């Protein structure tokens, strides 16, 4: 019985020593760049987002709308903090009102100030498209960060 235990112990030691010698101590995995998949944005009507804000939480969305104005609405609000030092918000016009310019204030859209400065010549009614991520539903509203912004058409300046 002792001989069997001794043989088994010798096998374990031999395998352990062999395994230790097989794996080099300075082994490094080759560094290959990891390609991130392209973000997919869901094109939506902003009124649908307002009807179900929690459904769109942490989702990437794309909106085509009429620009209303840059604003400070929602900035520095603690539960969904975007600092007024670094961000500016903007409002779009309600798509369900055609005969007046009514801002869609329930949608809080934030973009970095450095990016917004490129679009200071926008006027109310200019057609825009923006893509971003919904990061909060504080107060039952939709709060989103803009990741891409594009002007589709601008009204003729007088």
Nearest to 88 by CA among 105, 69, 75: 75
Question: Given this model, what pLDDT does residue 142 score?
Answer: 96
Question: Given this model, what pLDDT does residue 111 score?
Answer: 97
The yes-or-no verdict on residue 158 having pLDDT over 90 is no
The yes-or-no verdict on residue 29 having pLDDT over 70 is no
| Least confident window among 2-11, 73-82, 103-112, 144-153 | 2-11
Question: Given this model, what pLDDT does residue 43 score?
Answer: 97
Q: How does pLDDT run across 78-102, given as a tens digit for each residue?
A: 888 899 999 999 999 999 988 888 9
Question: Given this model, what pLDDT does residue 52 score?
Answer: 96
Question: Given this model, what pLDDT does residue 65 score?
Answer: 97
Comparing 60 with 79, the larger pLDDT belongs to 60
Q: Which residue, chain included where needed, has tokens 């490129």? A: 118
What are the extents of the domains in the chain?
Answer: 42-153
Query: What mean pLDDT do residues 105-128 have?
Result: 96
pLDDT averaged over every residue in the chain: 87
Question: Given this model, what pLDDT does residue 94 score?
Answer: 95
Question: Given this model, what pLDDT does residue 27 score?
Answer: 58
The yes-or-no verdict on residue 34 having pLDDT over 80 is no
The yes-or-no verdict on residue 26 having pLDDT over 70 is no
CATH class, domain 42-153, is mainly beta
């Amino acid at each position: 019985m002792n001989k069997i235990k001794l043989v088994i112990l010798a096998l374990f030691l031999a395998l352990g020593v062999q395994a230790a010698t097989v794996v080099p101590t300075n082994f490094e995995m080759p560094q290959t760049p990891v390609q991130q998949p392209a973000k997919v944005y869901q094109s939506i009507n902003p009124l649908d987002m307002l009807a179900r804000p929690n459904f769109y939480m942490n989702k990437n969305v794309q909106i085509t709308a009429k620009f209303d104005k840059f604003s400070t609405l929602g900035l520095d609000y603690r539960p969904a903090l975007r600092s007024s030092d670094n961000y500016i918000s903007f409002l779009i016009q309600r798509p369900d009102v055609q005969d007046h310019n009514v801002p869609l204030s329930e949608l809080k859209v934030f973009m970095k100030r450095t990016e917004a400065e490129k679009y200071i010549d926008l006027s109310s009614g200019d057609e825009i498209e923006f893509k971003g991520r919904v990061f909060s539903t504080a107060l039952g509203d939709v709060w989103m960060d803009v990741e891409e912004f594009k002007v589709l058409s601008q009204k003729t300046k007088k």
